[in-house]
């Protein structure tokens, strides 16, 4: 059984993240989407809110679960018996950071492989912080966010 962990901030989840999960699901027997609780970023949504949004918009598939984690990605993988880390690579600039992280994770846990998947081109240039900036300034983000996530982001940023 091949299981993978898709770790991230998901602040909030975007159509790009969903696209990546849809592409990765056929590759694994089980995929765990995990919200990083101790990320260095100051989040807009609490971890529990991010998990709730992920559960609402991710595909309904018994092979998919959503949770939170603290500490190192590889430690969480080991504790759950997960053998692979899934990461999306959108641009060349992503690659440098991802390359560094994948090799560091391999150093820390040689048995855990990182698998890279490319999202669709229409999602390859957006990020959660860019989307937050557009919303703060009254712009249209409907092509990047599922409706329930867009609604919650507007409530949070433009009350």
Task: Give the one residue of 51, 53, 84, 126 binding ligand COA; rule: CB under 6 A.
Answer: 126
Which of these is catalytic: 15, 87, 90, 152? 90
Task: Give the one residue of 4, 32, 54, 119 binding ligand COA; rule: CB under 6 A.
Answer: 119
Tell me if 16 contacts ligand COA by CB under 6 A.
yes
Task: Give the one residue of 36, 47, 53, 153 binding ligand COA; rule: CB under 6 A.
Answer: 36
Active site residue 55: no
Task: Give the one residue of 4, 11, 28, 32 binding ligand COA; rule: CB under 6 A.
Answer: 11
Q: What is the 3-state secondary structure (H, E, C) of the chain?
A: CCEEEEEECCCCCCHHHHHHHHHHHHHCCEEEEEEECCCCCCCCCCHHHHHHHHHHHCCCCCCEEEEEECCCHHHHHHHHCCCEEEEECCCHHHHHHHHHHHHHHHHHCCCCEEEEECCCHHHCCCCHHHHHHHHHCCCCCCCCCCHHHHHHHHHHHCC
Under the rule (CB under 6 A), what is the footprint of ligand COA? 7-9, 11, 14, 16-17, 20, 36, 39, 41, 72-73, 88, 90, 101, 104-105, 119, 123, 126-129
């Amino acid at each position: 059984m091949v299981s993978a962990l898709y770790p991230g901030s998901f602040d909030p989840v975007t159509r790009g993240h969903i696209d990546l999960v849809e592409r990765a699901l056929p590759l694994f027997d089980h995929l765990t989407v995990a919200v990083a609780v101790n990320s260095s970023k100051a989040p807009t949504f609490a971890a529990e809110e991010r998990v709730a949004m992920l559960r609402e918009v991710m595909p309904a598939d018994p092979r998919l679960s959503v949770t939170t984690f603290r500490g190192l990605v590889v430690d969480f993988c080991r504790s759950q018996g997960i053998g692979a880390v899934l990461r999306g690579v959108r641009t060349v600039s992503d690659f440098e950071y991802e390359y560094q992280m994948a090799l560091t994770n391999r150093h820390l846990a040689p048995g855990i492989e990182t698998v890279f998947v490319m999202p669709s081109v229409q999602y390859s240039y957006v990020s959660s912080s860019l989307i937050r900036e557009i919303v703060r300034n009254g712009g249209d983000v409907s092509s990047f966010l599922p409706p329930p996530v867009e609604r919650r982001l507007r409530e949070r940023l433009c009350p």
